[in-house]
Every structure is written in structure tokens, then in C-alpha cells.
Structure 1
Amino acid sequence: MGEQITYAQAGVSTAEGARAVDAIKGLVGATYRHEVVGDIGGFGGLFSIAAAKEMEEPLLVSGTDGVGTKLKVAQMLGKHTSVGIDLVAMCANDILATGAEPLFFLDYVAVGKLSAEQMHDIVAGIADGCKQAGASLIGGEMAEHPGVMDPDDYDLSGFCVGLVDKPRMLGPQNVHVGDVLLGLESSGLHSNGYSLARKVLVEGKSADELKAPVEKLGGKSVLEALLIPTRIYVKPVLDVLRSLPGAVHSLAHITGGGITENLNRALPSNMNAQVQLGSWVVPPIVEYTCEAANLSETERLKTFNMGIGAVLVVDASTEYDVKAALDAAGEKVHNIGRVVSGSGEVEYVRA
């Protein structure tokens, strides 16, 4: 027999994996809703859906997503917590577009070389995002990939499941001509367009340049501004859906493709969203990136969220009540347009 070669010698540390699990146990447990059954460490996460019995026609809604190349910014800055919030936000905001309440979340973290401390930071962000979304983190996977990924590299994926009663579901089927478009402000670029943002703002720059304060970014550095986490809209929007039933007809989560290629998904095929440009303020990092890329207005609107992270299509008679409720919850809300007859597209006019 030849010399024994262990798993550790192949580059995978099961001991470090066990240490990482110990490091995140408290973080995971802090996200648990009362419906969670069992604890971390099982082969599957268990969650009671007894609440569905009270619904007329309960539907499970699922969503999966990642953070993309924004992770490279986190790795450059050495700050790994906020990207976990991004991961939850991308999934939870997506299922919110149906009116669903997020119930539980699972994550997948692939790393080149496992570090318990780094894993703690990543999962701390995921747990924070789950708390913001009201979802339980009931499972996940930490996968070490030596020889496939660089030691300092990692990637994140997430999966979220929620619940909605079909008669209360949001969607294009509820939209009417004359409905108002209420835009919820984004915190920045959120988690989309980072391949372009990195190309024009990061590539070819020194570490000192990237970490230096920039006046146009309100004193933040480029890396700090790029790392601002995605806003999670779940709790304030669900509160509106419960307190003002029927007021919100449809919802669009503005992600990759910008307003142009996401708001149309909340419309029926015989209506357009007429968006008034200039009716909201574009965040500094979004404007800064667009200027650096020399993007035309058309390209901007189909690449970045331009400062609007979600759009609610609202019955005109309830506009002020919905806006007041969202304002009270801490959201910054703008009337950005209305629904008109058309062909299921987004059209732009000047405010």
C-alpha cells in the first residue's frame, strides 16, 4: 500500500468546518420564528406551515438568487457581513412581488479555503437579512473547493420560501388604467450592474484610490459606496398589504435590467407604465457610476435601478394612505408615474 493521503492534505479541513458551524449556531438560532422545528445540524430544515390552514387557497412561493460580482468588492475591502444582507434581499424582495410573506431561507457558501472567522461574518450578514425579512435561516451548506477556487475567493447563493393566499396575490391581473406608481428608494446600486461598475470604477485603480473619500459620494470611498447593502422592503410592504387590503395591485422588484426590464413584469399586456423622469433623486453612487461609464439615459434605465428599488402599482384612491403608511415605516416613497393604455411596456416622460 502507498502512503496515506488524508482529506486535510487534499485541502479540505473538516475541523475548520466544525469550528465554523460552532461559530454560526447562535446567529442562526436568533432568526428562528416559532414555526421552526428542530435546530441546526439536521439533514433537512423543518418548518411548520400550519398557518396555511387559515388561508382560502395557500400558495408556496420560492425564489433563488446570488450576489454576483459585488462579492469581489467585499473581498477587496475585507468586509464580508453586508453581502449576506444582499443575498437575502435579492431573494426575499423577489417573492414579496407576489405579496408573499417570506417564511424561511437557506444559503450555500462556496469557498476556496474555509475560515471560521470569515464564515461567521458572512452568516452574520445573512442572519441580519433574515431578521429584516422576518424569515428563519433553517439550513445551508459550506463547501470548501480547493484547487477550484482561489483560497480567498467565495460565492454565495440563497433560496427563500414564502406563503401567500391566492385571492390576495399581487400581480398584473389586478392592474387598472389610472393606477399610481409608487417608487421606493434604493440604498444604492443594490446587487446589480457590478460587472460594469467594477470595470469603470475599480479596474486599474490602486487600493489607496479605491479607499480614499470621494466628495461626490458624500465622503465615502468608492469601495464603501459600492458595498452599501440592498434594502429589504418586506416588512413595511407586508404591513401595508395587511392594513390596506386591495390597495396595492402589483409590485416590481427593480433588479438587473433596471426599471425598463422589471416594471413591465408587473403589467398586463394591454397597459403601459408611464414613468416620470426627475420625480426622484438618483443616489450618488448610481450617478457616479453612470457618469464614469458615459451611459446614455436609455442604457442607464435598463442597467441600474437608478434609485428606485421597488415599484408598487397602487389604486389611485389609496395613494396617500399607502404612501403615509410607508413613510411612517421609514421608507422614502415617490409618486413616479401612472398606468396608461398600451402594450405591456415602460415608457418615460419628463416630470
Structure 2
Amino acid sequence: MTLSEEEQKILDYWDSISIIKLILEAEKPLGRYQFTEGPPTANGLPGIHHVYSRSIKDIILRFKFMEGYWVPRKAGWDTHGLPVELEIEKELGFKTKKDILDYGIDKFNEKCRESVFRYIKEWEKLTERMAFWLDMENPYITYENDYIESIWWSLKQIFDRDFLYLGKKVVPFCPRCETPLSSHEISLGYENITETSIYITFKLLDPNYKDVKIVAWTTTPWTLLSNVAIAANPDGRYSLVEYNGEKLIIATTLLDTVLGEGNYKKIREFFGSDLLYKKYEPLFPYFEHLSEENGYVVITADFVNTEPTSDNISTGFVHIAPAFGEDDYNIGQEFGLPF
């Protein structure tokens, strides 16, 4: 008997004794250990990565069951989100949101509902074959009213306990779909591209750095209007140099990359933390008043890279615009930068 045949024999035995039913009905002394399956989208085929993640989940569930916990293994199906909608858009040949509106939102939603369980047999087969024991007969389905109402109920409980607050968050936005995107949805179409970048200088206003400019590098020059800070690596080493009659500050390890070997004269070296809270002149005059609100200041951040790599042509400084980019917003909150 082959290994595959031996596995199938064991699976058949578990099925004959209704193993999942036995697990769900078992009396366990330590009480409940709740598990709700992070639901897959069944309008797409399962992949090997689902086997990896489910194997890790299953190890925990079996361990907690053997410890003496009752472990309800609630299955689920994700029937919302862009993956479902994009699949139907492709089928119907739609290119824009207007196509959906012309077709009819109700008709489009119905098409989506029809598609969400397209590959449910393949998902059930995978689940059974890898012995990932789930209560597949009583799954939660995200488009059903019971589930939707449970989300509203949960939000109401959070609100009543004063755990909700109004804040801001930078999120990716799709101009074609006219909607914010989750990190998962971004990954569906993520690709590396070559982008035009620029170097730009910021003149320091500190008397100890008279006529000295910080050199920053960016691939998003359209965000410079919203610049309110420059980030340096606190532990990185930076050099003040003379170059073409100007005094510039650049990360020491990146001097040759940016200015060219032998094209500059080094004056002195220091750490990025030595520049903390140094003020600089705004690039544009429109928001000069923000200088009085902790704007146009050098801050420090660990995510700033000062090491040379094959694709790193930065200067060791990052221009910060809290309204553009998650890192910018988070560091802006940390340092109390204007938004």
C-alpha cells in the first residue's frame, strides 16, 4: 500500500466515525477555546499557501483539544470584497465603475453572489484531504444577514464601551474602483516599477549650520507641497561636505553614490540624532505658519536607510508628508507633526 493510499484509508476511517461531530460534541473540562476560520474566497481555487496556513492553525487546534478544551471549529466563506467583484468585471468585460452603474448595481451584486461558491467543491476536497477538521455544515457566510448583523452588533458593543474613536489613517486608494484598498487587495496587483526620482535640498535655519542644506531624495515629488519634516536615521553617520560651492549633509556611506567619488570635501561627521529638532526653511511659502506648530523640523526614524545597496540611490534623509504614506503618518503622530 502506498503512502497516499494509507492516508486515504485513515481519512475514510475518520469519516466513518464522524470525527468532526465527535469533536464538536465532546465534553471538555477546561471550557471553550474559540476558533473561527479566517474565511477563504471560494470564487478562486485553493493554493499550496492555504495548505501551509491551515496546517499551522490545525496544530494549535489539535493541541488545545488534547489539553482539554472544547474547540468549536467554525468554517466560513468570504463572499465580499474586490476579488469577487473583479472576477465578475472580467467576465462581463467591464473596465470602469460607470460600466457597473450602467449595467445595474442589483444585477451586478446578484452576479457576484452566484460566483462566490464557484470552487466550493475544490475547497471542500482540499479541506478533507489535508484533514483540516472544520464544521463545514454550519459555516458563517459574510453576505448573509445574520453575519452582517453580527458585525453591527459587535461595533455597537465596542461603541457602548467607548472603545471607538475618530482618527485618520492613510490607505491605498484605487482611482478606477473609486474605493480604498486593503493590503491584501494591493498585493493582488502589486508589481515593481521604475519611477523617476529627484534630489532636493532643504536649508537649515540653525546658526550652527549656517548656509547648510540637507539633501533628500524622493520618488514622489508631487508630495513635496505637503512636506512638514525630514527624517534621519538616529544611529546613522552623516557628513557635512562642500560640493560645488555649497555645504551639504548626506549619509556618509552614500556620499560617493550621490556626489561621485572625489567630487566633494568632507568638513565633519556626526550622528543623525545630532540633527534632531533642527528647523529648516519650508520649500514653499504657502504653509509657513506650520513652522510654529512643530513643522519643518528634522526628526529621526529607524526606517531610514543609510546603507548602500544595488538599488539604493537615496541620501539617508526621507522627506515626510504625513498625508501621504503610512510610515509618514505614523511618524507624524509620534512626533506631533502638523497634518
Larger RCO of the pair (alpha carbons < 8 Å, separation 6+)? 1
Normalized per residue, the structure richer in helix is 2
TM-score when scaled to structure 2?
0.21
Normalized per residue, the structure richer in strand is 1
Larger Rg: 2
TM-score when scaled to structure 1?
0.20
